[in-house]
Amino acid sequence: MCYNKFQSIKKIVPQKFGNLRKLLYIYYVINDKDMKRFEKAPKSSERLSYVYRTEFKDGSIHFGRVNASKHYTPKAYISNAISAVKHNANNPLRVCMTTEFEYKVANEIDSVKCEIVFAGPTDEAKKFRNEEVARLGIMCMNARSAGSDSLGIDNIVTISKEFSKALKSANEILYFIDPRYGRSIGLADKMISNVKHPLYPNFIKLACIQVERV
């Protein structure tokens, strides 16, 4: 296609304007590549994701989903988790954003095993991850609370949006709750009093993964 365009340019632009010929050819080549890239770009609903399965020495398993555009190998995925711990530790506003998974990776890096177990459309990746979490049950870190193994995937804690905050981290969503409200609904043992929301210090971290805010 580009060759044909160049032949057309040769016919239109006289030979004495050689540099102009080259510039026009380069212009068409660049635009041709851009158009092809645009045509091949998937729609937002067709974006691809990888699902990473990380296994620890104690048998705990964690599933993480990352957009395929990041091109993370399993090694890069683990390195990113460790970097998050180091980065957050140096920023008082981000200390509370480090997840249990990231801490565990950093502490057990020598024995961690990680692999990509799914690659495909994001919606299917989410479905695959959720099915695996449900299948493994309490052995899966995604399916239990950060502070206690007793909270399974089916035990969803419902809390009021008015008395709670949600904060997204690299791998999970962290939840913070007004301590008085938390105690009033029986979540005293699920609150981490020394970990506060970086912007709303009156809210403390809730050690529950499965949370529904209404």
Statement to judge: residues 102 and 167 lie in one domain:
no
Domain count for the chain, please give it: 2
pLDDT tens sequence across 115-130: 999 999 999 998 999 8
- Enclosing domain of residue 105: 47-143
How many CB atoms lie under 10 A from the CB of residue 96? 19
Query: Final residue of a domain: which of 125, 143, 161?
Result: 143
Residues 207 and 165 in one domain: yes
Tell me: do 133 and 57 sit in the same domain.
Answer: yes
pLDDT tens readout for residues 169-201:
666 678 899 989 988 888 877 777 778 888 898
For 45, the token pair is 């609903």
pTM (whole model) above 0.85 = no
Q: Which of 134, 142, 173 is nearest to 52 (CA)?
A: 142
Report yes or no: 197 and 108 within 8 Å, Cβ to Cβ: no
What confidence score (pLDDT) does residue 208 get? Answer: 61
Q: Please, is 204 exposed, middle or buried when counting C-beta atoms within 10 Å of its C-beta (0-12, 13-18, 19+)?
A: buried
Answer yes or no: is pLDDT of 146 > 60: no
Q: Is residue 193 part of a domain?
A: yes
Same-domain check for residues 60 and 135:
yes
Quick check: is 36 in a domain?
A: no
Regarding whether 160 and 106 lie in a shared domain, the answer is no
Residues 175 and 134 in one domain: no
Task: Answer yes or no: do 55 and 130 share one domain.
Answer: yes
Q: Is residue 85 assigned to a domain?
A: yes
